[in-house]
Amino acid sequence: MNSIKPRVIKDYDKLPLEIQEQIKLEYPFGFSDNLIRFTNKDGLIVSALPFETEDKYYMVRMTVGEAIKIVEDDDDFDDDGILKEGIKEEYANKYGEELEGMEVSEEEDSGYDDDYDDDDYDDDDADEEVADDDDED
């Protein structure tokens, strides 16, 4: 089955708590080193954190500075910007099955395709789903 997932661009603070927790579990060393850049529908270059669930593909809109601040202000991360071990275990128990098979190692992540364009995502503050119109995926 080759179904195409809806793609959503959304700010981190507008995501549901369970999605934020899953993102922390997927990126336990912080977000800033994992941001990608793409051109939005207005032709502006935007940075975002990619995150995939079973039913959606998220681009979590944030700058490097915002990514660092989110981690600094979050009590789930320690002073070095690393997800605390107890929190990591709690989220792994809570979401383990949902994230199984979706982990991306640093080696895999380094070759991440960051060639996103206007047709791939909608850059809107609303939780708008965007269908993939082209067959290049």
Q: What is the pLDDT of residue 40?
A: 84
- pLDDT (tens digit, 9 = 90+) per residue, 14-61? 999 999 999 999 999 999 999 999 888 899 999 999 999 989 999 999
Task: Tell me the average pLDDT of the chain.
Answer: 79
The pairing of beta strand 7-11 with beta strand 36-39: unpaired
Q: How confident is the model at residue 136 (pLDDT cuts 50, 70, 90)?
A: very low
Q: How confident is the model at residue 119 (pLDDT cuts 50, 70, 90)?
A: very low
Q: What is the pLDDT of residue 126?
A: 45
Q: What is the pLDDT of residue 2?
A: 54
Mean pLDDT over residues 64-92, rounded?
96
Q: What is the pLDDT of residue 4?
A: 87
User: What number of CA atoms fall less than 13 Å from residue 64's CA on the CB side?
Assistant: 3
- pLDDT (tens digit, 9 = 90+) per residue, 93-110? 998 765 554 444 443 344
Q: What is the pLDDT of residue 56?
A: 94
Mean pLDDT over residues 72-80, rounded?
97
